[in-house]
Amino acid sequence: LVLNHTSDQHPWFRAARSNPRSIFRNYYVWSDSSLTYRDARIIFTDTEESNWAWDENSKQYYWHRFYSSQPDLNYDNPLVQEEMMKIMSFWLDLGVDGFRADAVPYLFEREGTSCENLPETHEFLKTIRQFINVNYPGRILLAEANQWPEDLLPYFGDGDDEFHMGFNFPIMPRIYMALKQADRTQLVWIMSRTPFLRETNQWGIFLRNHDELTLEMVTEEERQWMWDNFAPEQRMRLNIGIRRRLAPLLENDRRKIEIAHSLLFTLPGSPILYYGDEIGMGDNIWLSDRNGVRTPMQWEAETNAGFSEAPGQSLYSPIIDDEEYGPLKVNVKTQQDDPASMRNFIRHMIAVRKEHHAFGWGEFEWIDCNNNKVAAYRRTYQDETILVFHNLSDTEQQVSYKTKRPIRVRTDLLTQWEFRSKDGMVNLKLKPYQYLWLK
C-alpha cells in the first residue's frame, strides 16, 4: 500500500499539473519556492538534488521525498485521506490479509522539522488502524519505515492502535556482515538495539526485498566494506545500497544460503521471504534502477520460465538468461520434484519453525560459548527452550556450553540428530556453516 506518493503519470497528478483549479491540485504539495522544508534530508542522494521538482506546465515546484517521478500526496487534504480509505476497502473486500504500508514516516510536512515521524503522521495512522479494527478485524498492518528499531517503536502505538508489525531494517546488512566476517559481533550489537515488543506486535525480519539492500544504517566505513565485498562492480550499487539478490550475494553457496535462512527463522521476528530467493534466483545488474532484482518468477524451464504465455518481448522485464541462474537450472518445478532441493529444505525449516512457538514468541538470550565465530542463543517460551547454534565460518568450530538444566540428550529439530551431554555440559563440533536447533 503506497501511502506516501503516486506516479507522476497517475491521473490525479496529470490533472493536478494541467489545471491549477482542479480538485486534484490539492492532492499534492506545491510551492513557489524550493527552499520550503529545507531541513528534510534527501533520500536518494545519487539521483536527486532536491526534494522539490519544478513543473514547467504549472510554474510551481512539487514535493517528492523519493524520485521526482513520485510526487508526494498531501495528507493535510481530507480528500486524500478519504481516497486512501477507499483504496484499502477495495483490496480488503477482495480478501487480502493486510498491507505492507510503504514509506510511512513521510506522510506530513512541517516547516522547521525533518518532515519525518511527525505527530500528524501518527494521528492518521491511528485513524487507519481504527478503520481496520472496526471494519476488517484480523487484518494486518506492516510498517515499512527505514528507521532504527528504537525510532520505529512509536509506530506500534499502544500496541493495538497503530501498526501490528514493523520491518527491522538494520538487522539485514548485519547478517551478511556476520557471515562474511565469520563473527557474531555485529549481530550482538544490533540485537542490543532491538527492543523486545509486546505480544500484540512483532518485528518483520528479512534477508532481501524488492529494493536495494540498504546500507543507510551502517557507518561510512562499513558501507564501503559492504560494497567492496558484496558489490565490487559499480552497477551492483544503487543509492546507498546494493541491488543484488540473496543467492549472488552469498556466491550461490548452498551452505551460506541455508545458514542465512536459519538465522532468519530463529532470530526474534516474523521471517519475510522475497519471491525467488527460496529457489536461489539470480539478478540482472544490467537492468535499470531496482529492476535487476524484480525479474519474473521462474516457475519452470519452458518458455518465459512459465511466467507468461505472452511473447517474451511483451513481458514487463526480461527473464534471467545466464547459465548459473537461468530457468533451465533454477526453477520451481525442478526443485518441487527434488526432495533435497533448496526450496523443499526451506519449506521444511518453515514447517519446523511453526511447530515451536519459542521462535515466534519466545524470549531471546545470547549464549556465551567463548567463540565469536559461533552465533549461539537461547529461545524460551513457557516451558519450551531451544538452543540455537550457527557456525558463521568456513572452518570447523568447537563449542562447549554449560546448560541451565542437566538434560542428557538434545535433539536437532531439523535433522533429528541426537546430541548427548554430561552434567549439562554440551560439547559440539560444528562443521563449516553448520547450524543446529537443539531441544
Active-site amino acid positions: 102, 144
**Torsions phi, psi for 238 (to 5 deg):** -155, 135
Name the residue type at position 297: M
For 365-374, b/e burial (b = at least 16 CB within 10 A) is eebebebbbb
* Contact assessment for residue 296 and residue 319, using Cβ atoms and an 8 Å cutoff: yes
Which whole-number Å values give the CA distances from 188 to 282, 366, 389, 422, in the listed order? 30, 8, 14, 28
Calpha distance 397→257 (Å, rounded): 19
Calpha distance 394→181 (Å, rounded): 10
Element (H, E) at 374: strand 374-381
Burial class (CB in 10 A: 0-12, 13-18, 19+), 45: exposed
Calpha distance 173→382 (Å, rounded): 31
Cross-strand pairs, 166: 143, 203
Burial class (CB in 10 A: 0-12, 13-18, 19+), 397: buried
In 3D space, the residue among 303, 3, 340, 343 whose CA is nearest the CA of residue 155 turns out to be 3
Nearest 5°: CA angle at 203, between 74 and 42?
A: 40
Residue 397 cell numbers, joined? 568450530
* Contact assessment for residue 333 and residue 294, using Cβ atoms and an 8 Å cutoff: no
Q: DSSP 3-state assignment of 113?
A: coil
Which whole-number Å values give the CA distances from 321 to 173, 296, 304, in the listed order? 28, 11, 10
Calpha distance 282→300 (Å, rounded): 15
Cross-strand pairs, 54: 61
For 241-253, b/e burial (b = at least 16 CB within 10 A) is bbbbbbbbbbeee
Nearest 5°: CA angle at 91, between 89 and 96?
A: 120
Pairing of strands 363-366, 418-420: unpaired
* Contact assessment for residue 257 and residue 280, using Cβ atoms and an 8 Å cutoff: yes
